[in-house]
Structure 1
Amino acid sequence: MSPLDLDGLAPDTEVLVAPVHLAGPGPREAVFGVLDSASGWTKTVAFGTDTYYTSPCQRVRIANPVESHYGGWTITYAEDPLGVPDWIATFDRETPHEIVTAFTETLVHGLPHHFRDYLSGGERYTGLGPEDVLRKGNWRTVHGSRPYWTVSPDKHAALRTRSGWLDEYTELQTPEKSMWRLSGGVDPVHVPSWRAFFSGSTPQHLRAAAASALASPDAVPRFVGDIPDRHRALANVRLAEPAATVPRAQAARARRPYAAHTPAPGPEAAVPSASLAAHGRSRRQR
């Protein structure tokens, strides 16, 4: 439980929140920063709010349609750029951006080499799946459950692994029926605050990257007003260190529209700073 009186703090007060699955989504700029800095990717903004990216090889398409049912991020991969996607990952609008960023950054980094660095024999290969990553963080498997659940130590985040066979096209059309689901909230199993879905063919190393971000014990930066009300009594919150605050002029530049980001050379460009002031304030409505 937070030792701070959050109700007594201004909504734009910068704080550090742990665990990440209770911190709220936070600003989207970190994800945009990864994609805007990726060499050769094409960006399209439609209707003034919806943003779409296409990889140089045309195999990956990423959408952030603000007004859609999910309103978060949908990522698809198709070996045949003109064919049906081989896999799909969907992050709803409430998914913490650290999880989306970890998945997206790993995808962008590995795509030019067709992920071979992350496959057996590659320099980044670990052999760990998301279940392995979570168990290393002391998550526990719920025995005898169908579907199978792996739950965080505080019981406010969970990984669901679906059992049984399901036609791959059903997964593509209905994310809720995907093989894997990450979720968090007061009751992450039955009434989650946020959900991320991964179809059966989603590469293991990408799912593991998302799981690593979810299992990280590090506190993440947020504004007080961005922490969901129902999570405030459960999360650990402390004031951000003054040194983490960037100059006001830099924060103002960061609030420019996403299209104003200047691409950096190469797909391995650094992700922008995690400081909230550098990302700009979240405008999510409550």
Structure 2
Amino acid sequence: MPTPDDTHLYEDVLVSPMYLAGSNGTGTAGFAPVAHWPHHYLDEGPCQLVVTSPDQRIRIGWFGDDYELWKITAATDAVATPRWTATFNHVTPAEIVAGLTTALAHDYAQADAYNGQGRFLANPSYRWTDYVRPLTDAGWTRDSGAERGTVEIVAPDGQAGILIDSRPSGWDDETTTLWAGPPGWGTRAEAVFTERTPSHLIAATAAVMANSAPVIRERHQINQRMAHLVTLTPLTPASKTSETLGSRAPTPLDVRRTAVTQAVHRAARAPRTAADLRVMAAQSRTTGAVHNRPSTFAPAASAPPSSASAPRRSR
């Protein structure tokens, strides 16, 4: 039977800023914009699920036990070498991944209006300002201490940013990194994009980070080392809100707060789709199998990555 402390740990809370909320352990939010695309469940190998566009030019891979949890690519045809790649690590909130998958779903739906190829294959802008406009519009500022040949835009709280390496590089080099949180395996979220990633897709991902709206997590999902950097607001049921108000009549502000709380709670507890349930089932099966693997293949969620998969940068 759960103790009072256990119940407290599993309490739903609103977490802000969102970019420090970490992962909730599922990819539901990231896959939601492409829920109507074909799903391919893999029983072998580190990749557990691949969601593809109907023509398979866009691929969204979920690696449930790896440090790099998401790998997203786009190519000119189903068997071509990816034109660009985006990876998101295990700390990155799936809501940030949804910024990219939402833009991809829109681009794919509008492909016929963009020379039949799709804007998701467009050449990136040569102006780095196009990558970061959602952030600068939200008050993020340039860090004057960035290395020569790089540009870094940092959030007002100093706990998130985007680093653009403008030095000469190959087409497949990783040149843009969105980051959030202090350096460390369990605290630093990273989204990394290769050279030819279209600028508007990076900007769409950055726009989610710039959004001030909180996200829902259970208390135990917040890394202890992040607790002092985030604001946690309990999601209070309407009945408890009424008790708090006591006998006085609710003010218009009370009414608005209650309505927002109820709406957010409903969204978080909405019934999952069959695809979501299959993702969770695949995670469960893989997690069970992982316990029988050699220690060198332990899931990223329970052990630091090897040097080959360590975080790329720290500030």
Q: Do both share a fold (TM > 0.5)?
A: yes
Does residue 130 of structure 2 align to residue 129 of structure 1?
A: yes
Partner of 1:272: none
Give the match for residue 209 of structure 1. 204
Aligned to 1:195: 190
Q: Which runs of 5 or more residues in structure 1 are unaligned?
A: 1-6, 120-126, 172-177, 261-283
Write the distance in 2 (CA, Å) between the matches of 1:88 and 1:67: 19
CA distance in 1, matches of 2:6, 2:43: 40
- Counterpart of 1:93 (choices 90, 93, 104) is 90
Structure-1 residue corresponding to 2:297: none
Q: Which residue of 2 aligns with 1:183?
A: 179
Tell me which structure has the larger Cα radius of gyration.
2
Alignment of 1:1-286 (within 5 A): 10-26=8-24, 27-38=26-37, 41-47=38-44, 50-70=48-68, 72-114=69-111, 129-143=130-144, 145-146=146-147, 147-169=150-172, 171=173, 178-187=174-183, 193-242=188-237, 243=262, 244-246=264-266, 256-258=277-279
* Code of the aligned partner of 1:181: T
Q: Deviations over 1:197-254 (max 9, x none)?
A: 0112111221111111001111111111111111111101111242244499966988
Q: Tell me, what secondary structure is at the counterpart of 1:233?
A: helix
Aligned residue pairs, count: 239
Partner Cα distance (2:36, 2:273) in 1: 17
Q: For residues 67-112 of structure 1, what are the alpha-carbon distances to aligned partners after superposition, in whole Å with 9 as ceiling and x for unaligned? A: 3341x11011111332211101111111111110111111012113
Residues 32 and 98, structure 2, Cα contact 8 Å, conserved in 1: no
Identity fraction in percent: 27
- Return 5+ residue gaps in structure 2 as ranges: 120-126, 238-261, 282-300, 304-315
1:247 and 1:218 mapped to 2: Cα distance? 14
CA RMSD in angstroms comes to 3.3
Mapped to 1, the partners of 2:108 and 2:163 lie a distance apart of 27
> Partners in 1 of 2:40 and 2:48 — Cα distance?
11
**Is the Cα–Cα contact under 8 Å of residues 24 and 96 in structure 1 kept in the other structure?**
yes
Question: Against the structure 1 CA distance between its residues 145 and 16, is the aligned structure 2 distance closer, same or farther, given a 3 Å change threshold?
Answer: same
Provide the C-alpha distance between the structure 1 equivalents of 2:225 and 2:44, rounded to a whole number of angstroms: 33
Judging by fraction of residues, say which structure has more helix.
2
Q: Are the equivalent residues in 1 in contact too, given 2:181–2:188 (CA < 8 A)?
A: yes
Scaled by the length of structure 2, the TM-score of the pair is: 0.66
